[in-house]
Structure 1
Amino acid sequence: MASQHFERDINHMVSKLCEDESTYVSKEIKRLGESLVSLHKKNLVKINHSVMELVCAKHLVLDGYYVEVEKILNKISCDIYARKGLGALIVEIETGYIPPEHALHPLTYLKARIASKITRYSGYAEKFGLAVPPHYTMIIPLAFLKPPIDRTKEEIAEIKTLCDLYYSNPPVSFDEIRNARIHTVYILDVESGAVKEMEPSTYMKMTGYILYEVEGLRSYVSSKVAKIS
């Protein structure tokens, strides 16, 4: 029954995303939808994650990329792997989901997950991005908004400690953190199929003010976030 519901929802999203699009774009969206249905039958993907992948994938197809979903890279699976010309882009989908075992420390867990994804995945492609829904405020460690050469040893050590709390098999290295980059944030509205692409610094300017106003969150963001370019 769950498989039938998944396929029904994917087919609905595919049909919606194909409306008024060219034959090529529609063909690519349908191909990706079929891939996700196949992966779900192996219990490898979930619907809330998959519909976001489709919305983001269409945006990339329209931008000239050839898109693959759930691609294996050196024994790890990335959500979206997109190629254009000689370059590649990896996009990781973030829903804001908190596993029950981390219910008492959700902010720390999510910040660690974001830091770990940027660190682990960005080295496998020329560009790396994160995609989020508009109802989730993602916290990007501010050190990743700086060029690698400007990151301090203290910032790198702080991210290393954070990642090791939850993602230590294998642990990320200091060099991986130092060289990690995030180039783009995609805000995905599943209901409308709309995508807003922006610089990570712009995203943190928008969300940083909100987070900073909540006193308990001030350790996660800086009042100087607006000055980051």
Structure 2
Amino acid sequence: MSMQFNGVSSIDRTSIVLRYATKIGLSPDSSVLLRTLKLVRDKGIAISHAIAELLLCKYLMEKGYACEIEYTINNTKCDVYAEKSSINECIEIFYYAVPLNSIDDWTNYIILTHLRKIVQMLKSSAHFITFAYPTGLVPLIPPALLSITSKEQLAKIMVEYGLHRFEDLKELRDISIIHHVYIFDLSKAKVRKIACEEVKMLVLLYNTITNFE
């Protein structure tokens, strides 16, 4: 969850959310919008994060999903939770906010954040665990993570990045841990679902370009 600490008043922030909801055609009495307004007003959630949640919910609801914002399933918080029939999805939105004490280890901090979040989300028992990124932000996901289908493979990657093994994870289903990601454009109010293999190609290309060794 992103937090906002600037000088914008609560009234101004809720007005921005309402204006964006109108832009994307979300009903004023939508439960998703009402919850977002409450979170912005009472919890100080960043506007960019809040309207990204609205946009993702609108996109998924048009696909036939029922959606919730800041929803907890099995003690795991999902920025957006979507459910349709027997399929459910826990989505985490990334903007790459890094604390000052980790600013000199920016890339590694973001990668570790992904890994820790995956472990948390796996415990939710959601069918899909998914990340969402604004346009222009490249997913900093270890390429190997986009191909694994077992707890053992995940544990190996965790150890490579200096994290402990997570033996309490239940055995995973025989599907990719990350099946797809979402890219969203707030200005165009558009969302695109990107398949795992496409994400892997993007990440590998980016890693090649930014190989400074």
Indicate the TM-score class for this superposition, using the shorter chain for normalisation: 0.7 to 0.9
Q: 1:68-112 CA deviation, whole Å, 9 max, x = no partner?
A: 000122333210111111221111111122222211111000001
How far did 1:146 drift? 1.8
How far did 1:175 drift? 5.8
Partner of 1:8: 15
Partner of 2:129: 128
Q: Which amino acid in 2 is paired with 1:210?
A: Y
Counterpart contact for 1:157–1:174, Cα < 8 Å = no
How far did 1:214 drift? 1.9
Partner of 2:156: 157
Q: 1:159-192 CA deviation, whole Å, 9 max, x = no partner?
A: 246374xxxxxx7614639738111100000000
Change (3 A) 1:182 1:123: farther
Partner of 2:191: 195
Identity of aligned residues (%): 20
Q: Which amino acid in 2 is paired with 1:127?
A: F
Q: Gaps (5+ residues) in structure 1?
A: 19-25, 165-170, 219-229
Change (3 A) 1:120 1:106: same
Aligned equivalents of 2:38, 2:188: Cα separation in 1? 25
How far did 1:44 drift? 5.2
Counterpart contact for 1:89–1:127, Cα < 8 Å = yes
Q: Report the secondary structure of 1:215's partner residue.
A: coil
Q: Gaps (5+ residues) in structure 2?
A: 1-7
Counterpart contact for 1:89–1:129, Cα < 8 Å = yes
Partner of 1:176: 169
Coordinate RMSD, CA, aligned: 2.6
Change (3 A) 1:136 1:95: same
- TM-score by length of structure 1 reads 0.78
**1:74 equivalenced with 2:70 (yes/no):** no
Aligned equivalents of 1:209, 1:84: Cα separation in 2? 34
Question: Where in structure 2 are the equivalents of 1:210-229 lying within 5 Å?
Answer: 210-216=206-212
1:185 to 167, 181, 186: 181
Number of aligned residues: 202
Change (3 A) 1:161 1:29: farther
How far did 1:121 drift? 0.5
| Further displaced range: 194-203 or 35-44 | 35-44
**Structure (1 or 2) with the greater helix fraction:** 1
Change (3 A) 1:163 1:121: farther
Q: Which amino acid in 1 is paired with 2:169?
A: E
Aligned equivalents of 1:81, 1:114: Cα separation in 2? 18
Q: Report the secondary structure of 1:104's partner residue.
A: helix
**1:206 equivalenced with 2:206 (yes/no):** no
Aligned equivalents of 2:34, 2:200: Cα separation in 1? 35
Change (3 A) 1:9 1:205: same
Q: Which amino acid in 2 is paired with 1:183?
A: H
Counterpart contact for 1:143–1:151, Cα < 8 Å = no
Counterpart contact for 1:186–1:197, Cα < 8 Å = yes
How far did 1:137 drift? 1.0
How far did 1:148 drift? 2.1
Aligned equivalents of 2:11, 2:23: Cα separation in 1? 18
